[in-house]
Structure 1
């Protein structure tokens, strides 16, 4: 039997953002079906999904699947670039085709693209930065003057739910916090939250060596992005500035000894 609010199908629902979104949706009263490469509870594989299609009770479809572009253990080869492309384009295509062939159309289709750096203890950039910052080796990337679009995990989840539930949300919604900061300002706030210095820079040449210059630009150049549509449609950010977000991380990190 479907949940009171219907079923939300989440492509890529087992990743960092997907897991948080699925948990929040279930808490609100939705049934959630995650489409993943591996089977499991409340999951369906992509191959099974292509055969079975959407459940009749589906009220919304969310596409979150995608290879992590900044995965430091993956070399920036032509093969990896093709994987990045396929993991985003093909999975979104599968979901769109399922909607097209469904006898009962869902009300909403949300596809993730262009989200800022998502900050949360269970994954993303914060998990990679905890150790170097805690050891006193944290600092800005490159010059540190580049803009750094960012958003707290609770707010990116909130924006997805906002897009699902609010009829006035149409078109592109930038998944970023309203405060525009530089990479240096982020490093300073994160260092203060961990009670550690934040002045050891990661030089541009080191970023390019580790990630390749083509994708290293994501970190060394940055861009200014604002959540205009989110604010205009009535979304209220839980963490609108980096100081409030960093303080929340400090409480969580110091409460969990595995990160210390």
Structure 2
């Protein structure tokens, strides 16, 4: 399809910024929806009052409060912010897009949809809600649902841990590893579904450009690894030791047991449909992904 104009909810965040950079590189016009004013931006209030730009051909939503922000206490108020920043923004875009001639609506969700165990999950796997994070993913995805008679293609990308120097997990662990204080999280045996930021943003572009793409996509690399294997690869690239496990009790004290599950538990997620659709990954090996992140994005 010809992309005339793409609207990105959360376009100033970690993932959104990279999507904007990709669109700019390809000469595709865009508008970000953000709380911060600036060029090529509108606010969520503007969206509610005036709707989407008339020339919108695709809408992407990657808005969401950082769940693992250590500066934020895990209170009921913060939990509600986490929900609203994902569910309510998605609802707003789902409501607005039906009044446009847009072709595609692509939203993000998380692999926390799947219950941590040794089962291999593909996009066809169904899971019941089992905790706060699972319930969040279910509500997030439900908020994106368009009317059954809509002609707009809809895709949901369930993302794993996103590896990129400018945000997410890498930004949080870089300095501890740099000073030789890195290590596996608890015993490190939990699965860690991951994806390089370049592959994730390319998957978003792939989803809005190709008319055959719709439904659920697992936004993870094909390689299944554990946190311990990631730690070994990352420490090797940084040429630092990483033998000191991060104690579970320490993480619980900082993040609270409910949200620390993101780090202590993991799912074995397979991108079956992504590969069947012909998407080409740039980074399928964790060692190469870590080398790119560290080697080309110096602090």
TM-score interval, smaller chain: over 0.9
Do the aligned residues in 1 keep the contact of 2:192 with 2:226 (CA within 8 Å)? yes
Partner of 2:293 in structure 1? 249
Partner of 2:212 in structure 1? 168
What whole-Å deviation, never above 9, does each CA across 1:84-138 have from its counterpart, x for those lacking one?
Answer: 11111100011011112x2x32100001001111111111111111100010000
Partner of 2:45 in structure 1? 47
Q: 1:58 aligns with which of 56, 59, 65?
A: 56
Partner of 1:215 in structure 2? 259
Partner of 2:104 in structure 1? 108
CA shift for structure 1 position 235: 0.4
Do the aligned residues in 1 keep the contact of 2:165 with 2:294 (CA within 8 Å)? no
Structure 2 unaligned blocks of 5 or more? 111-158
Counterpart CA distance in 2 for 1:241 and 1:226 is 14
Partner of 1:146 in structure 2? 190
CA shift for structure 1 position 222: 1.1
What whole-Å deviation, never above 9, does each CA across 1:171-190 have from its counterpart, x for those lacking one?
Answer: 11111111010000000000
Do the aligned residues in 1 keep the contact of 2:3 with 2:58 (CA within 8 Å)? no
Counterpart CA distance in 1 for 2:220 and 2:252 is 25
Q: TM-score, normalised by structure 1?
A: 0.94
Counterpart CA distance in 2 for 1:99 and 1:202 is 44
Q: Spell out the pairing of 1:116-127 with structure 2 (5 A cutoff).
A: 116-127=160-171
- Secondary structure at the aligned position of 1:113 is classed as strand
- Secondary structure at the aligned position of 1:50 is classed as helix
Alignment root-mean-square deviation, CA:
1.1
Partner of 1:14 in structure 2? 12
Which aligned segments of 4 or more residues in structure 1 are displaced greater than 2 angstroms? none
Structure 1 unaligned blocks of 5 or more? none
